[in-house]
Structure 1
Amino acid sequence: MPNVMPSTVLGRQLGDELRRSREAAGVTTAAAAEVLDCTKGKISRIENGHVPVRTPDLVALMEVYGVMDTESRERLTSLALRANRRRREGWWHEYASVLSDAYRDQIEMESICDSIRTYQVQMVPGLLQTPEYGRAVTVASRAWQTAEEIDRFVQVRLARQERLTSAEPMEFWAVLAEGVLRQQVGGPDIMHAQLKHLLTMAERPNITVQVLPFTRGAHSGMFGPYVLLSFPQLASLDLVLTEAPTGNIWMEREQEVACYRGLFDDARMAALPPTESLALIQRVAKEHRA
């Protein structure tokens, strides 16, 4: 399966408007491609928000699409400038040496989404990891070799967590398979501290943690972990992220996203209620210290 590079939300909004303008004008993707002297594939990538739009290209497209009123042209131009600036800026760019393009895209999406729902089967979500747990995961991945690379990657993970504790924090809802609590990442002391950290974070009003116990048996989420990102007042722009050893896979078609919404609803309904989940986390934390 190909690794689909996500767009920025602003880029997708711009692409949606350009597509609607093109279709309203009766212009085919082939005709639009001739205007920019590019392939039809590039027009599709522009309309999906996967590539930035240079100002001269935007002006040319507005001309052929018949977008002539000043207000519409200014709005589209402003949207393009903001989308392109969002791609270039962000605290994560200073860590470019240890971040893949796909991971930078994930961080960018996190920086502008307003809620995340995730189901995890093997490890604690990165946004809830302690530094020690995160370091153990990073070392085990073998993706980074030097101590400096590992340190910088752990710093990135900690910086991402500020989205949960900022003045305007995102909503975060995690359903964890019971195996996440029992997998000894880094050893019993690190696991004890990690589970205590989960309990602390779950006290925040914007964070919900549930555990899906082994006793629930077979369920619809057994195929693997995923992350569902939602954006303010733009449900049609929701994204799903699944992770694989060879790279992240993004899904943005409404049918695909709706499927994962249903899977998450199944997971949270099958999981223990939050209060019982936290009680189980507390018990397992003690077991790691026994």
Structure 2
Amino acid sequence: MPSVKPSTVLGRQLGDDLRRFRENAGLSTADAAEVLDCTKGKISRIENGHVPVRMPDLIALMQAYGVEDPEAQERLQALARRANRRRREGWWRQYESMLGDTYRDQIELEAICESIRTYQVQLVPGLLQTAEYSRAVTVASRTWQTPEEIDRFVEVRLARQERLTGESPLDFWAVLAEGVLHQQVGGPAVMRAQLEHLTTMAKRPNVTLQVLPFSRGAHSGMFGPYLLLSFPQVASLDLVLTETPAGNIWMEREPEVASYRALFDDARMAALPPTESLALIQRIAKEYTP
């Protein structure tokens, strides 16, 4: 399935204009955040073209910035309509009816982020899952009931993986708790194929894979899985997605994101080096041989 990325060019043009009007009005990102009742991080992502701008929000910002010239107003609104229309053309839009808001946001941000760092406690990261492993996880989740729903959800997960293998692939660094390798998702044959797939993906130049062994004992990052998404040039736009049974939660405030950067650094330092991790994965894969 071909990948269609969001139109960040149009988004950046709109964001550049909004930033200029905000600065000319003598307002800070905190002031703009108060207008939309959101975080400063969201304003920064709007101004860098990373998230779409809803038309009511755009109108509110134009009023706050004192944008009264009709031609300037029309330019901003036209840019917003075009950028949002292009975003709606992403490949994931055909699955719109089955994607929750958080998951859709994750897919859209994956399409434009530069790198992802993740720590996983029990499951192989979605971007590294085989179709059979992904299917077993989907069935176990009980979120999708019919074979058709399950098939489509697996299709979404596999389509996302083009970000690791397609044009301009993102850098992906995963630290897996050793339990991930032993949890028999789908049974021995599925697990063997999954671990063999991990060894293949780990050899890609844009993929780093480490295993945090049982022998390391307690550590600071052992209490839950998360993803840290980073964007080109602007570190303040980094986001964290925490995964919970009740649903996934975005964290975007810089102190929160910084704490997860530190957690990931702790995890990667405690984990086995990539070469030793690969050897461990290969050794465990052999244990699943019939």
TM value normalised by structure 1:
0.82
* Unmatched tracts of structure 2, length 5 or more: 1-6
Contact 1:16–1:47 under 8 Å retained in 2: no
Structure 1 residue aligned with 2:232: 232
Contact 2:35–2:64 under 8 Å retained in 1: no
Distance in 1 (CA, whole Å) between partners of 2:104 and 2:169 is: 20
Give the paired residue count: 274
Q: In the TM superposition, what is the alpha-carbon distance from 1:44 to its structure 2 partner? A: 3.6
1:152 alignment partner, SS class:
helix
Distance in 1 (CA, whole Å) between partners of 2:35 and 2:26 is: 20
Distance in 2 (CA, whole Å) between partners of 1:203 and 1:71 is: 53
Structure 1 residue aligned with 2:3: none
Q: Does 1:17 align with 2:30?
A: no
Alignment of 1:180-199 (within 5 A): 180-199=180-199
Instruction: Tell me: CA distance 1:43–1:79, structure 2 relative to 1, closer, same or farther (3 Å).
Output: farther
Distance in 2 (CA, whole Å) between partners of 1:267 and 1:284 is: 21
Distance in 1 (CA, whole Å) between partners of 2:277 and 2:16 is: 42
Residue identity (%): 68
Could you tell me which amino acid in structure 2 is paired with residue 153 of structure 1?
A: F
Q: In the TM superposition, what is the alpha-carbon distance from 1:233 to its structure 2 partner? A: 1.1
TM value normalised by structure 2:
0.82
Instruction: Tell me: CA distance 1:74–1:238, structure 2 relative to 1, closer, same or farther (3 Å).
Output: farther
Distance in 2 (CA, whole Å) between partners of 1:22 and 1:53 is: 22
Could you tell me which amino acid in structure 1 is paired with residue 267 of structure 2?
A: A
Q: In the TM superposition, what is the alpha-carbon distance from 1:96 to its structure 2 partner? A: 1.7
Instruction: Tell me: CA distance 1:124–1:19, structure 2 relative to 1, closer, same or farther (3 Å).
Output: farther
1:157 alignment partner, SS class:
helix
Q: Does 1:166 align with 2:166?
A: yes
Structure 2 residue aligned with 1:52: 53
Q: In the TM superposition, what is the alpha-carbon distance from 1:15 to its structure 2 partner? A: 11
2:204 alignment partner, SS class:
coil
1:236 alignment partner, SS class:
helix
Could you tell me which amino acid in structure 1 is paired with residue 19 of structure 2?
A: E
Tell me whether 67-76 or 264-273 shows the greater mean CA deviation. Answer: 67-76
Contact 1:21–1:67 under 8 Å retained in 2: no
Contact 1:14–1:47 under 8 Å retained in 2: no
Distance in 2 (CA, whole Å) between partners of 1:249 and 1:13 is: 25
Distance in 2 (CA, whole Å) between partners of 1:72 and 1:271 is: 53
Could you tell me which amino acid in structure 2 is paired with residue 271 of structure 1?
A: A
Alignment of 1:1-290 (within 5 A): 10=11, 17=19, 20-21=22-23, 24=26, 42-44=36-38, 47=43, 49=46, 52-54=53-55, 58=58, 61-62=61-62, 64-66=64-66, 80-81=80-81, 83-85=83-85, 87-289=87-289
Instruction: Tell me: CA distance 1:71–1:286, structure 2 relative to 1, closer, same or farther (3 Å).
Output: farther
